[in-house]
Amino acid sequence: MVFREDASHVLNKNAAQSLNILRKLALAVLKGMTFDKPRLSYKNKIFSFGLKPERYLGQLFEIR
């Protein structure tokens, strides 16, 4: 429930599936990144990334 999926009002089934894939991809990317604090929740990782994206963009494109 990191991306508030229950509050989503997508009516098209294909769009809902596409958004689900994008959410899973975003969670996988966040899982592979390292942040300043060793144990952050996904919600806090998203918040940290949003505050200073330039700090984490290098990591984002180097994920293997």
Return d(Cα 64, Cα 20) in angstroms, integer. Answer: 22
Domain ranges for the chain: 5-62
Tokens 């899973």: give the residue: 24
pLDDT by residue for the chain (64 residues), tens only, comes to 566 666 677 778 888 888 889 888 888 888 878 777 788 888 888 888 888 888 888 877 775 5
The whole-model pTM stands at 0.61
Type of residue numbered 61? F
Q: What is the pLDDT of residue 42?
A: 83
Q: Write the DSSP symbol of residue 40.
A: -
Q: What is the pLDDT of residue 39?
A: 84
Q: What is the pLDDT of residue 2?
A: 65
